Amino acid sequence: MNKKTESKYHSKIIVFFDGECNLCNSSVQFIIKRDLKNRFLFSALQSETTANIFREHGFPLQLDPQPESIIVLSQNRFYDKSTAALVIAKHIGWLWLPLQIGWIFPKPLRDILYMFISRNRYKWFGKKESCMIPTPELKEKFI
């Protein structure tokens, strides 16, 4: 990330999500409602902003055949799959802290469940024709 980008977002947790996935869009809305400390920013995986941030960090952007449902950038470190979900749960309030028990399971085991849901999310929850457009009230949460 360049210095300008780094200073602007360094204290935030950036959630990169599949903007065409109904489950992912619902998850973003869920996080926003619980983000009482304004810790999170969001960017669709399909956006140019995401591509630029990933390029600046040397993180591979893979959108074929379908993108990962959620990737998190926190303190200059990327997290994916189940680890991304656990990082988010850690920061959305004390009611969600019991989910932290997931850390006791090895990542490969956690990711089996994550990938099962990820591979079936379009079938189960549907897919939008285009990325979500935030309302004016929520625009500041999206980069």
* Domains delineated in the chain: 3-141 (3.40.30)
At residue 31, the pLDDT reads 94
User: Which stretches of the chain score pLDDT less than 50?
Assistant: 1-5, 7
pTM: 0.83
At residue 59, the pLDDT reads 84
Indicate left, alpha or beta for 38 from its phi (over 0: left) and psi (-120 to 50: alpha): left
Backbone angles phi, psi at 136, to 5 degrees: -55, -35
At residue 94, the pLDDT reads 67
At residue 11, the pLDDT reads 84
At residue 1, the pLDDT reads 43
At residue 4, the pLDDT reads 44
Q: What is the mean pLDDT of the chain?
A: 83
At residue 98, the pLDDT reads 66
